[in-house]
């Protein structure tokens, strides 16, 4: 019997309800939202974000962190964690397609799965319609 | 143009600054004033990673920033100046006497601080420092994002901003 949360593979962190919203969407689409734990930086100092992230990563022995924005304090905290834990992989600019790809690649090592997911997320950004030239 | 925003925010460069203020103010550069960061290449690289390539970031100690402030104020581009601590901004004001307005953007919980707003916690000596800043004619207000109503220092300290 697996212990609760044993299948958690990554942390999703970001502003406001970004992480819980994204993970909720993953759960609705795939039923695999349990692959993630979440963290919001709402009303937290940089030091608090780093402390909370460190606790989550240590508690689950996670090697993959997804964040929302390159400039965000969650990304900064993850970068600080990487300094002492080079095995940790950070993907920033995360979108839903990124997380969906990640949950289905349990066969890949974490770093490879994260890279694959990032490529998928990048490819999912598509603009359609509008006048020619976008004006 | 020059420096449009003098902000105290313990997160320094982060989403609210780069995007929340950066987009509406059309910020082209950030002056980050922090003695520790100014002496650490690694910290500087970390913060550089957080800004888009078209935005410049300059790192200075308080003394360096004081020497260069007039130059930044003459810049044709729009910029923001950040400190992580009230004490750092106070020192900069002391040295330059040319900062008219200070934005409290994020001073979070720490032992000894009392909550004044959702995003502003102050220790007694910090409160005193802000009062002294205002008494010298600096317009001190709290506003985390541009869409929020700026709260004057007396509103922040009286707790009215939480109502």
CB contact under 8 A, A71 and B15: yes
Buried b or exposed e, range B96-113, using 16+ CB within 10 angstroms: beebeebbbbbbbeeeeb
Q: Where are the domains of chain B?
A: 1-84
CB contact under 8 A, B106 and A45: yes
Helix (H) or strand (E) holding B44: helix B41-49
Chain A residues within 8 A of B82 when measuring between CB atoms: none
Mind listing the pLDDT tens digit of every residue in chain A (135 residues)?
334 445 899 999 999 999 999 999 999 999 999 999 999 999 899 999 999 999 999 999 999 999 999 989 999 999 999 998 999 999 999 999 999 999 999 999 988 999 999 999 999 999 999 887 666
Cα(A84)–Cα(A110) distance, rounded to whole angstroms? 18
Question: Spelled out in words, what is the top-level CATH class assigned to the domain A10-119?
Answer: alpha beta
Q: Tell me the C-alpha to C-alpha distance, in Å, between residue B26 and each of B30, B47, B80, B82.
A: 11, 19, 10, 16
Pick the residue of A41, A51, A71, A82 with the most B CBs within 10 A to test the interface with B by mutation. A71
Predicted ipTM? Answer: 0.80
Work out the pLDDT band at B25, boundaries 50, 70, 90: very high
pLDDT of residue A135: 62
CB contact under 8 A, B108 and A45: yes
Q: DSSP secondary structure string, A35-95?
A: GEEEEE-TT--HHHHHHHHHHHHHHHT--EEEES-TTSHHHHHHHHHHHH-TT-EEEES--
Q: What is the pTM of this model?
A: 0.87
CB contact under 8 A, A71 and B11: no
B40 touches chain A (CB under 8 A): no
pLDDT of residue B118: 93
Of A45, A46, A76, the CB nearest to B109: A45
Work out the pLDDT band at B41, boundaries 50, 70, 90: very high
- Residues B1-84: name the CATH superfamily: Phosphotransferase system, sorbose subfamily IIB component (3.40.35.10)
The whole-angstrom distance between A47's CA and the closest CA on chain B is 8
- Quick one: how far is CA B124 from the chain centroid? 19
**Over the stretch B70-109, which tens digit does the pLDDT of each residue have?**
999 999 999 999 999 999 999 999 999 999 999 999 999 9
Q: Where are the domains of chain A?
A: 10-119
Residues of A with CB under 8 A from a CB of B: 15, 43-48, 68-73, 75-76, 79-80, 83
């Amino acid at each position: 019997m697996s212990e609760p949360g044993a299948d958690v593979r990554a942390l999703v962190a970001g502003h406001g309800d970004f992480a819980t919203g994204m993970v909720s969407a993953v759960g609705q689409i795939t039923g695999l939202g349990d692959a993630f734990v979440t963290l919001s930086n709402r009303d937290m100092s940089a030091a608090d974000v780093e402390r909370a992230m460190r606790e989550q990563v240590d508690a689950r022995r996670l090697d993959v962190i997804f964040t929302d924005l390159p400039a965000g304090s969650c990304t900064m905290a993850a970068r600080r964690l990487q300094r002492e834990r080079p095995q940790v992989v950070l993907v920033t600019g995360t979108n839903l397609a990124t997380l969906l790809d990640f949950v289905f690649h349990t066969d890949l090592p974490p770093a490879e799965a994260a890279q694959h997911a990032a490529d998928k997320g990048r490819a999912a950004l598509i603009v359609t319609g509008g006048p020619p030239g976008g004006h | 143009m020059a420096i449009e925003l003098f902000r105290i925010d313990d997160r320094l460069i982060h989403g609210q600054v780069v995007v929340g203020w950066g987009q509406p103010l059309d910020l082209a550069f950030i002056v980050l004033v922090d003695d520790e960061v100014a002496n650490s290449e690694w910290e500087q690289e970390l913060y550089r990673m957080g800004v888009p390539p078209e935005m410049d970031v300059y790192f200075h100690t308080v003394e360096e920033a004081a020497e260069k402030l007039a130059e930044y104020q003459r810049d044709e581009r729009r910029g923001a100046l950040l400190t992580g601590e009230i004490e750092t901004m106070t020192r900069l004001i002391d040295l330059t006497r040319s900062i008219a307005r200070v934005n409290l953007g994020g001073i979070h919980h720490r032992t000894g601080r009392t909550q004044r707003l959702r995003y502003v916690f102050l220790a007694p000596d910090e409160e005193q420092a802000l009062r002294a800043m205002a008494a010298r004619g600096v317009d001190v207000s709290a506003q985390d994002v541009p869409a929020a109503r700026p709260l004057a220092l007396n509103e922040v300290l009286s707790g009215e901003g939480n109502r």
